[in-house]
């Protein structure tokens, strides 16, 4: 599990707490339900839920659902799922739309205070009021700002009652246009939008803006520390302004840096294009960095939290290389998952003098550490075993230490090393079809050990293995020549259709999720991706959700070593 102390004990989050050292701490994670969460959001989740947990407080999951045009039902479920998968349980699940009534009352109150007015200007006029292109001309206030409270109230109610079409009228806050901060230049509070809302239906024809909604919902929920990303730094002033003018409880907004991965595409529009044009298998394709994709790939939630925790939280945006993320995942898997033998591209080896050992049961540990809590399992040794094509050479050489005619190699866990005697080849394809070998009982400690899988019928099974490499060639696909679709790596998915996995897989699957793989959340702890293991000498794998009882499909989570990556 994550050791969250580091993140909260010192630095940015500690300073934030010391500014307002109250208990209980109340925070919120406020996604707009307009897309699937991505790896960047895991930082927001860890920061908000972690901060509350660290201080013995609570964190809301609040759907910021004020824009009926962009929101869809599937996202609501997927978001809550991901929060739980990361191991956090929301104190309450709330919706900004729960507060539409209260927000409306606050708007009327603001009008009564002479701090809001109904404006009829179009976009061009507003731009001129705000100083034109790049602020090249003097700012001035909208003439509508001088309307009486009564007139503003009447017009606002007309907005509410559907008497205006979209863009004909909107409610603006009367802030301070002389302030240097554009967030004080009479921001919009409500706009007319005749669209049904997924929760409130046709009840509302006006919807509040982010700037009006967020600070008030935080206030209604008594949020103590409202943590958001740095693009909201300038919004802090308008956030504080509105709560103060209305005389309501004032939460404290502070901003931390966003997390992004170089070489990954996170924008919804680009992801949609990759999915729709079938460059990937779907929104959860293991090559993507949506959280559903990272989960499907087999990355444990605990590894994600460890990654966020290691990076720490500051006010700078960080762009992290995928290799660094994978390094954390690898280290996490190294100590949490069992080991098995898998062969990607099998070639049979007939061991001529193995008749007496054919079918022998071998007890092998799931982890190399003696007395490991993971325990042992048994596999059968068979006269014919399968090894990987890449572990055999037709001609031996001095600097080569795996199998070749006349050369001896060790078989992991097996009773004796083997020495190849001959091989057969398919003339048409030039591929080796069978190797013959004998035990080499002389050599006690061969230079190299290779993995193998026993013959079918002994519990080992065929499987499909999908090896994932980076989806894009460049570190910054968005600015690649010809666009990011031109930057796609054609070898981002390499499939081995005839791989073989040893019988221990059945037990790994039955026992999943392994208790060692802590950090697994509640809702999805029984998913196929919890069937994770290290295939010795190959990579880390997890069971893919396309698998069936008949067909095993495995995803490569990460390679064993970083340098083998490219």
Q: 39-54 and 73-85 helices cross at what angle (nearest 10)?
A: 60
Strand ranges for 148-193 from DSSP E = 170-173, 188-192
CA distances from 519 to 358, 427, 525 (A): 41, 52, 10
Cβ(326)–Cβ(565) below 8 Å: yes
> Which two tokens mark 565?
């990556």
Tokens coding 37? 């969460």
For ligand ATP, which is the closer residue by CB, 200 or 260? 260
# residues contacting Mg ion (CB under 5 A): 1
**Closest separation in Å from C-beta 148 to ligand ATP:** 37
Taking alpha carbons only, the member of 20, 99, 23 closest to residue 55 is 23
Q: How far is the CB of 180 from ligand ATP (least distance, A)?
A: 24
Least distance between ligand ATP and beta carbon 228 (Å): 5
Cβ distance to ligand ATP smaller for residue 30 or 68: 30
Write out the binding residues for ligand ATP, residues 22-81 only, by CB under 6 A.
Answer: 30-32, 35, 40-41, 43-44, 64
Residue 514 · residue 336 · CB < 8 Å: yes
Name the residue among 52, 61, 39, 46 with its Cα closest to residue 1: 46
* Residue 86 token pair: 């990361």
The site string for Mg ion over 93-132 (x = CB under 5 A, - otherwise) reads ----------------------------------------
Nearer to Mg ion, 75 or 449 (CB): 75
Residue with Cβ nearer ligand ATP (169 or 259): 259
> Token pair 């499987």 is at which residue?
463
Phi, psi at residue 346, to the nearest 5°? -75, 140
**In whole angstroms, what is the distance from residue 202 CA to residue 180 CA?**
39
Selected catalytic residue, list 128, 154, 157, 258 = 258
Instruction: Determine whether 254 is an active site residue.
Output: no
- Give how far Cα 356 sits from Cα of 231, 409, 452, Å: 71, 20, 19
Crossing angle between the packed helical segments 149-160 and 100-112, to the nearest 10 degrees: 160
Q: Which stretch binds Mg ion (CB under 5 A): 26-34, 120-128, 415-423, 488-496?
A: 26-34
- Residue 345 partner contact from Mg ion, ligand ATP, none using kind-dependent CB cut-offs of 5 to 8 Å: none
Smallest distance from ligand ATP to CB 556, Å: 25
Q: Pick one of ligand ATP, Mg ion, none as the site partner of residue 169 (Cβ within 5 to 8 A by kind).
A: none
Please confirm, yes or no, whether 258 is among the known catalytic residues: yes
For residues 275-286, b (16+ Cβ closer than 10 Å) or e, as one string?
A: beeebbbebbbb
CB of 30 to ligand ATP, least distance (A): 6
Q: How far does Cα 452 stand from its chain's mean position?
A: 34
The binder of ligand ATP chosen from 229, 327, 474, 489 (CB under 6 A): 229
Per-residue binding string, ligand ATP, 247-286, x by CB under 6 A, is -----------xxx-----x--------------------
Half-sphere exposure of 355 (CA within 13 A, CB side): 2
CB under 5 to 8 A by kind: which of Mg ion, ligand ATP, none does 489 bind?
Answer: none
What's phi and psi for 487, nearest 5 deg? -105, 5
Query: Residue 445 corresponds to which tokens in the numbers above?
Result: 């400690």
Q: Least Å distance between CB 271 and Mg ion?
A: 11
Q: Beta-carbon neighbour count of residue 465 at 10 Å?
A: 26
**Which of 227, 387 has the CB closer to ligand ATP?**
227
Q: Which residue has the tokens 């290691």?
A: 310
Nearer to ligand ATP (CB atom), residue 228 or residue 435 = 228
**Binding characters for ligand ATP, 180-219, by CB under 6 A (x = yes):** ----------------------------------------
Nearest-CB residue for ligand ATP: 40
Closest approach of ligand ATP to the CB of residue 396, in Å: 53
3-class SS of residue 531: coil
270 in contact with Mg ion (CB under 5 A): no
Catalytic residue among 191, 268, 383, 461: 268
State the minimum distance, in angstroms, from the CB of residue 197 to ligand ATP: 17
Contact yes or no for 534/334 (Cβ under 8 A): yes
Q: Among 7, 23, 32, 178, which residue interacts with Mg ion (rule: CB under 5 A)?
A: 32
Q: Which residue is nearest to Mg ion (CB)?
A: 32
Q: Near Mg ion by CB under 5 A, which window of 30-38, 66-74, 434-442, 490-498?
A: 30-38
The end-to-end CA distance of the chain, in Å, is 30
Residues that bind ligand ATP (CB under 6 A): 30-32, 35, 40-41, 43-44, 64, 228-229, 258-260, 266
**Active site residues per annotation:** 32, 258, 268
Residues that bind Mg ion (CB under 5 A): 32
């Amino acid at each position: 599990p994550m050791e969250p102390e580091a993140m909260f004990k010192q630095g940015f989050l500690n300073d934030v707490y010391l500014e307002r050292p109250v208990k209980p701490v109340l925070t919120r994670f406020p996604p707009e339900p307009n897309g699937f969460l991505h790896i960047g959001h895991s930082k927001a989740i860890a920061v908000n839920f972690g901060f509350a947990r660290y201080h013995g407080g609570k964190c809301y999951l609040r759907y910021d659902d004020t824009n009926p045009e962009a929101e869809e039902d599937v996202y609501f479920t997927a978001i809550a799922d991901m929060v739980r998968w990361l191991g956090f349980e929301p104190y309450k699940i709330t919706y900004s739309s729960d507060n539409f009534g209260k927000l409306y009352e606050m708007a009327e109150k603001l009008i009564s205070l002479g701090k809001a007015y109904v404006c009829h200007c179009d976009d061009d006029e507003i731009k001129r009021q705000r100083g034109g292109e790049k602020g090249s001309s003097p700012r001035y206030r909208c003439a509508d700002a001088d309307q009486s409270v009564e007139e503003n109230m009447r017009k606002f109610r007309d907005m509410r009652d559907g008497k205006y079409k979209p863009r004909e009228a909107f409610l603006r806050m009367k802030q301070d246009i002389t302030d240097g901060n554009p967030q004080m230049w009479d921001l919009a509070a409500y706009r007319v939008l005749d669209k049904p809302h997924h929760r409130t239906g046709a009840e509302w024809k006006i919807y509040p803006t982010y700037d009006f909604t967020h600070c008030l919902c935080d206030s209604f929920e008594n949020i103590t520390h409202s943590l958001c990303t740095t693009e909201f730094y300038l919004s802090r002033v308008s956030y504080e302004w509105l709560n103060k003018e209305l005389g309501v409880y004032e939460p404290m907004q502070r901003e931390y840096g966003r997390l992004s991965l170089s070489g990954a595409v996170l924008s919804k529009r680009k992801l949609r294009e990759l999915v729709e044009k079938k460059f990937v298998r779907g929104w959860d394709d293991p090559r993507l960095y949506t959280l559903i994709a990272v989960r499907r790939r087999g990355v444990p939630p605990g590894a994600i939290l460890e990654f966020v925790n290691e990076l720490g939280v500051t006010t700078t945006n960080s762009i992290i290389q995928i290799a660094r993320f994978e390094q954390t995942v690898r280290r996490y898997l190294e100590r949490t998952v069992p080991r098995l033998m898998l062969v990607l591209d099998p070639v049979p080896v007939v061991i001529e003098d193995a008749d007496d050992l054919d079918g022998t049961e071998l007890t092998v540990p799931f982890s190399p550490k003696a007395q490991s809590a993971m325990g042992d399992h048994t596999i059968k040794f068979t006269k014919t075993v399968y090894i990987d094509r890449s572990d055999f050479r037709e001609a031996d050489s001095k600097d080569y230490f795996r199998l070749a005619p006349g050369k001896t190699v060790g078989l992991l866990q097996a009773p004796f090393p083997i020495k190849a005697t001959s091989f057969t080849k398919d003339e048409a394809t030039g591929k080796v079809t069978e190797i013959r070998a004998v035990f080499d009982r002389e050599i006690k400690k061969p230079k190299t050990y290779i993995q193998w899988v026993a013959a079918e019928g002994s519990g080992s099974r065929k499987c499909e293995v999908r090896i994932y490499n980076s989806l894009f060639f460049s570190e910054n696909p968005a600015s690649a020549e010809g666009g990011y679709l031109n930057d796609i790596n054609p070898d981002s998915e390499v499939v081995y259709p005839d791989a073989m996995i040893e019988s221990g897989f059945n037990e790994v699957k039955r026992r999943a999720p392994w208790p060692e793989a802590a950090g697994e959340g509640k809702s999805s702890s029984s998913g196929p991706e919890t069937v994770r293991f290290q295939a010795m000498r190959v990579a880390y794998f997890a069971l893919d959700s396309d698998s069936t009882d008949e067909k095993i499909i495995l995803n490569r989570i990460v390679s064993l070593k970083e340098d083998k990556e490219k």
